A and B are shown apart, each in its own frame.
Chain A
């Protein structure tokens, strides 16, 4: 299991690492309100898929669980969990808790 703070730390750590990789230093100063995808967002679609793959790997290491974050259910949500850091962290908590 992961709590919200742990999930948030995972997401921010991954985002910072991806920022170093992509040469986008702003991602290292990301916070809960940072937009991931959509208007004025930090990532393009391939970047978002990369972040999600990294997170799935982190979750596997941290909890031993193999999860899929981007699935049809996530797509159908009225508010996408991939729009903002806090929404993604909360979604991670929910998925890991299932």
Chain B
């Protein structure tokens, strides 16, 4: 059985199929652009109809209860419409993007029963397995009538951790956004809490979301200029590359008024260069973890890398230099890992090393553990190590993060080799990583060493 659509069977909007308050916003925004990208312009009216189409297809399946459904795509109209339709119907939604080689393991972790593959206005729906997931976290959500959202974070064992959160509660936090119509750019991924935050924020505000065809500084700058984007959520690394590539100077970015940045520490020197390049822009630091959701913050002064939490639903404290958070939107738990980073009384240990500034402010200094942050995209060494170890000629290896002025940190691997041709082995290691891992996880530096220290997984021979 396969179902598909492309908004050819447009019907009148029926408000009960999507989340009520969102549906009302879509009706109010009417012919205003909702999503702008490779597919052209999708108006809010069109988007509402696409949501109906998805909801009808879903109802037609006559599913006996909440099911795990993956949505493969990006911030396109069909993928987004499916996300919302699945939420409204109380299902467990797994947005997937990036390297498709990483998808099968994730689908298996979640036990996804259906897979929606979306591209622009078009989508197709295919069954994957016939057996509903009986995970207690899913049952817990189903019992209170809430939809689930599953995102992945880097796990210490090399397996990404599947985080389950209450999708209905998350979406409800956007209801108080006032309509503003200010064009926003989508830079972070569809499978990333930051990318979803941008998406839901724009939709709740009835604003156009501009989705660039690629995330290179050049393509993004051209999209900002063309669509007069006002709000740019980005990582410090991306903002650095925007300046270094010359893209900021080559395009008219005068429409920008707000740049929000987060996901990795902002160097003071970079913020100073950004302020000089964009004198009319307000810079706002955001803070979020996949586990706790995006948190509202303010900076005491515009040019400060200190921040202050402004979210009434969030509590924070610093324990041994580590930031601990407790929020209303934190995840229910992991499908495939223990909740060891949560304390019994609900605090989440972020793993971020912070220092306290004046008047209740704080500043993120970096990471405490092994987690590597490449331009805001995170990974654990074990993920890469397991791929490197599978390359013939590698006896042992150790992956670590190294500071880098272009991407904040970069992935470096020390390799113990059993072959003499290091140049060829280096190329083979990089090729294997590129094929099997997301782009940011591939080591940029491969060094050959006589031995590596520490209790890493050793190659079994």
Interface residues of A (CB under 8 A from B): 17, 20-22, 37-41, 44-46, 48-50, 52-53, 57, 70-72, 74-76, 79-80, 82-83
In the A-B complex, the 7 residue pairs with the smallest Cβ-Cβ separation, listed nearest first, are: A38-B245, A53-B445, A50-B444, A70-B405, A49-B444, A80-B244, A38-B246
Does chain A have a CB within 8 A of B273?
A: yes
- B391 CB → nearest A CB, Å: 14
Selected from B244, B375, B412, B434, the residue in CB contact (under 8 A) with A75 is: B244
Alpha-carbon separation in the docked complex, A17 to B430 (Å): 12
Alpha-carbon separation in the docked complex, A69 to B77 (Å): 42
Judge whether B217 and A38 touch: CB under 8 Å. yes
Contacts of A50 in B (CB 8 A): 430, 442, 444-445
Alpha-carbon separation in the docked complex, A57 to B430 (Å): 16
Some 16 contacts from A to B, beta carbons below 8 A apart, are A21-B427, A22-B434, A37-B241, A38-B217, A39-B247, A39-B250, A41-B216, A41-B245, A46-B407, A49-B404, A50-B442, A50-B445, A75-B406, A80-B246, A83-B244, A83-B246
Does chain A have a CB within 8 A of B357?
A: no
Alpha-carbon separation in the docked complex, A52 to B88 (Å): 48
Judge whether B405 and A53 touch: CB under 8 Å. no
Judge whether B405 and A72 touch: CB under 8 Å. yes
User: In the complex, what residue of chain B is closest to A21 when comparing beta carbons?
Assistant: B427
Alpha-carbon separation in the docked complex, A20 to B430 (Å): 12
Judge whether B431 and A53 touch: CB under 8 Å. no
- A69 CB → nearest B CB, Å: 9
Does chain A have a CB within 8 A of B346?
A: no
Tell me the B426-461 residues at the A interface (CB within 8 Å): 427, 430-431, 434, 439-440, 442, 444-445, 447
Selected from A21, A45, A79, the residue in CB contact (under 8 A) with B407 is: A45
Selected from B270, B375, B405, B427, the residue in CB contact (under 8 A) with A74 is: B405
Judge whether B445 and A75 touch: CB under 8 Å. no
Contacts of A46 in B (CB 8 A): 374, 407, 439-440, 442, 444
Judge whether B405 and A75 touch: CB under 8 Å. yes
Alpha-carbon separation in the docked complex, A39 to B442 (Å): 24
Selected from A20, A37, A57, the residue in CB contact (under 8 A) with B244 is: A37
Contacts of A20 in B (CB 8 A): 427
- A54 CB → nearest B CB, Å: 8
Alpha-carbon separation in the docked complex, A57 to B445 (Å): 9
Contacts of A74 in B (CB 8 A): 405
Alpha-carbon separation in the docked complex, A53 to B403 (Å): 12
- B440 CB → nearest A CB, Å: 6
Alpha-carbon separation in the docked complex, A37 to B219 (Å): 12
Judge whether B237 and A45 touch: CB under 8 Å. yes
User: In the complex, what residue of chain B is closest to A73 when comparing beta carbons?
Assistant: B405
- A21/B431 contact (C-beta < 8 A), A44-B216, A76-B269 known: yes
Judge whether B430 and A21 touch: CB under 8 Å. yes
Does chain A have a CB within 8 A of B267?
A: yes
Interface residues of B (CB under 8 A from A): 216-218, 237, 240-241, 243-247, 250, 267, 269-270, 273, 374-375, 404-407, 410, 412, 427, 430-431, 434, 439-440, 442, 444-445, 447
Taking A45-B241, A75-B244, A80-B246 as given, write out 4 further A-B residue pairs in contact, using a Cβ cutoff of 8 Å, ordered by the A residue number.
A37-B244, A41-B216, A70-B404, A83-B244
Judge whether B244 and A41 touch: CB under 8 Å. no
Alpha-carbon separation in the docked complex, A46 to B407 (Å): 8
Contacts of A41 in B (CB 8 A): 216, 218, 245
User: In the complex, what residue of chain A is closest to B410 when comparing beta carbons?
Assistant: A49
Judge whether A75 and B270 touch: CB under 8 Å. yes
Alpha-carbon separation in the docked complex, A93 to B450 (Å): 31
Judge whether B246 and A53 touch: CB under 8 Å. no
- A57 CB → nearest B CB, Å: 8
Contacts of A75 in B (CB 8 A): 240, 243-244, 269-270, 273, 405-406
- A18 CB → nearest B CB, Å: 9
User: In the complex, what residue of chain A is closest to B250 when comparing beta carbons?
Assistant: A39
Alpha-carbon separation in the docked complex, A61 to B86 (Å): 57
Judge whether A76 and B273 touch: CB under 8 Å. yes
Q: Which of B244, B247, B410 has the most CB of A within 10 A?
A: B244
User: In the complex, what residue of chain A is closest to B269 when comparing beta carbons?
Assistant: A72
User: In the complex, what residue of chain B is closest to A20 when comparing beta carbons?
Assistant: B427
- A19 CB → nearest B CB, Å: 11
- B94 CB → nearest A CB, Å: 26
Contacts of A80 in B (CB 8 A): 244-246
Judge whether A49 and B407 touch: CB under 8 Å. yes
Judge whether B406 and A39 touch: CB under 8 Å. no
Judge whether A38 and B247 touch: CB under 8 Å. yes
User: In the complex, what residue of chain A is closest to B442 when comparing beta carbons?
Assistant: A46
Contacts of A76 in B (CB 8 A): 269, 273
User: In the complex, what residue of chain A is closest to B439 when comparing beta carbons?
Assistant: A46
- B439 CB → nearest A CB, Å: 6
- A84 CB → nearest B CB, Å: 10
Alpha-carbon separation in the docked complex, A61 to B240 (Å): 30
Judge whether B406 and A48 touch: CB under 8 Å. yes
Contacts of A82 in B (CB 8 A): 244, 406
User: In the complex, what residue of chain B is closest to A81 when comparing beta carbons?
Assistant: B244
User: In the complex, what residue of chain B is closest to A76 when comparing beta carbons?
Assistant: B273
Alpha-carbon separation in the docked complex, A49 to B439 (Å): 12
Alpha-carbon separation in the docked complex, A57 to B446 (Å): 10
